[in-house]
Structure 1
Amino acid sequence: METDKTSKQVIARAATILKIISQSVAGMNITQLSRTCGLPRSTVHRMVATLEEQQLVINAKEGVRLGPALLSLATAAHTDFVTAARPAVVALGRRTRETIDVSVSRGLHAVLVDQYASDRELRVVSAPGTAFPVHCTAHGKAMLATMDDSVLANLLPEMLPASTSKTASNRVELLAEIAHIRQQGFATDNEEHAEGVCGLAFAINSGISSLYAVSIAVPVLRFQRNKEVLLAELCKTQAEIESVLYQPR
């Protein structure tokens, strides 16, 4: 019985640490994790080391972040939605010849769970399982725009890390953009996460408690001249996916 109790405690502590890390855009050091979760620094250090051995976290110079093994598990957990959306995602990719990403909301991150890669020589491609900051990506902002203001107030820190000179680096600025996204129904990334990369996205509630986004990732050289066509194709895909998800059973 004592062994069972200890095992449950270890699992609960590990889960707490992982949840806290998922809420951090830039990563957290051991001291910050210890203070946030209320555990001794030595305990947190030991647990982070164990999680790192399993590739569930990465303990880098800039702080502890979610690791590739955990992100792969997140990818595998969304088979139903990915399967339902896949035909429309592939069709969108073939029509536009651009990379199409499907992401799921995870706190301050949007985790890539599926992708149709562009066949062009100049393209934007990321590995499935990659966690993107929500405040400076099209798919991330699209999902933020579906959340209540009270949720956003608790989720978003006052200051946000700037990935490029075009990133909204504070909550007030981001909330103003989110209000605009709610009005127009889609989100845009104009080199806010990475220089030379732009995107368009819409969010969709899967009906199974998870929030997803479908986005088009486009090199900046093609974005402005093709934006209206890409947006029209994206809206068509949104309707296609919603018709599959919400059709009568």
Structure 2
Amino acid sequence: MSEENDSASGRQVISRAAAVLRALAEDNRGQSLGQIAKRAGLPRTTVHRIVAALEAQQLAVTTPTGVRLGQALVKLAASAHTDVIAAARPFVEALGRRLRETVDLCVCRGQHAVSVDQFASDQELRVVSAIGTAYPIHCTAHGKALLAQQTDDALEALLEAKLERRTSKTITSRKELLEQLTEVRSRGWALDGEEHAVGVCGIGVFLSTGQSELYALSVAVPAARFEGNLDTYLAALFQCKVEIESLLAG
């Protein structure tokens, strides 16, 4: 085989592996090989070989719910956001200590908001998830803050699939969600009133970082402490947003 053919073959392998990784990123709760093949537009046998190779490098992992992105890829993704994380970190910590609540920095990944940094609350009753967690974008505060920044065409594609119901308060109507996103754009912040998990509330804001990636900042609060404190959380969150954006702009 000639060097030119070797090069073409190599590009094809990388292209197919990238298609599988993009398919996994669309729904990181776990997918079957058939689901991945459909999303990636590849034969199931090809997907099987690629997934096996990705697992060997810890870029994918097979769980009881299906194939998911692996920890090695989560670490690589986090390293790509090092500059934003490093800039935001002191302000995220200050906000968390001020409110004594959990603060998350997330990035948009298809139909999910993925946590790339977190300051965990020190209170006994608190809301904490692992860094790298992929949150549904339609029913979380940071997710809706990110959705509100999307173009109409992008929203059309992102919300094409059925909206998963997580709790009795989850918005599953596309029309209702779009109406709420209009409100988010107008007021500048998004709310999660136990839509993602029972007993958990949150508020989120979009972060203008000057990069192509879309970031959001959120505060996650047990519902028992949320009522009556919204104004306090909002004031502190917006102050943190301004501080981070000013630093990145400077």
1:202-241 equivalences under 5 Å are 202-241=205-244
Kindly indicate whether residue 119 of structure 2 is the aligned counterpart of residue 116 of structure 1. yes
Change (3 A) 1:25 1:108: farther
Unaligned runs of 5+ in 1: none
Superposed CA RMSD in Å reads 1.8
CA distance in 2, matches of 1:62, 1:98: 31
CA distance in 1, matches of 2:81, 2:89: 12
| Match of residue 56 from structure 2 | 53
1:176 to 176, 179, 185: 179
CA contact (8 A) 1:71 1:130 kept: no
Q: Which range is displaced more, 96-105 or 68-77?
A: 68-77
The change in CA–CA distance for 1:216 and 1:126 in structure 2 (over 3 A counts) is same
User: Quick check: 1:33 aligned with 2:36?
Assistant: yes
1:88 to 86, 91, 97: 91
Contact 1:98 1:118 in 2 (8 A): yes
CA apart distance, 1:27: 4.5
2:189–2:203 contact (8 Å) kept in structure 1: yes
Moved more, 164-173 or 96-105: 164-173
The 1:229–1:157 alpha-carbon spacing in structure 2 relative to 1, beyond 3 Å, is same
Q: What secondary structure does 2:202 align onto?
A: strand
Partner residue in 2 for 1:9: 12
Aligned-pair identity (%): 52
| Cα displacement string for residues 82-127 of structure 1 (whole angstroms, at most 9, x for unaligned residues) | 1111121111111101111101111111111111111111111111
Looking at structure 1, the residues matched to 52 and 175 of structure 2 have their Cα atoms a distance apart, in angstroms, of 37
Counterparts of 2:160 and 2:229 in 1: how far apart (Å)?
34
1:130: Cα distance to partner?
Answer: 1.3
Higher mean displacement: 174-183 or 164-173: 164-173
TM-score (norm 2): 0.92
Counterpart of 2:96 in structure 1: which amino acid? G
Structure 1 position 26, deviation (Å): 5.3
Which consecutive segments of 4 or more residues in structure 1 shift more than 4 A? none
Separation (CA, whole Å) in 1 of partners of 2:39 and 2:85: 34
How many residues align structurally?
A: 247
Query: Deviations along 1:60-88, whole A, 9 cap, x unmatched?
Result: 45443323322222112111111111121
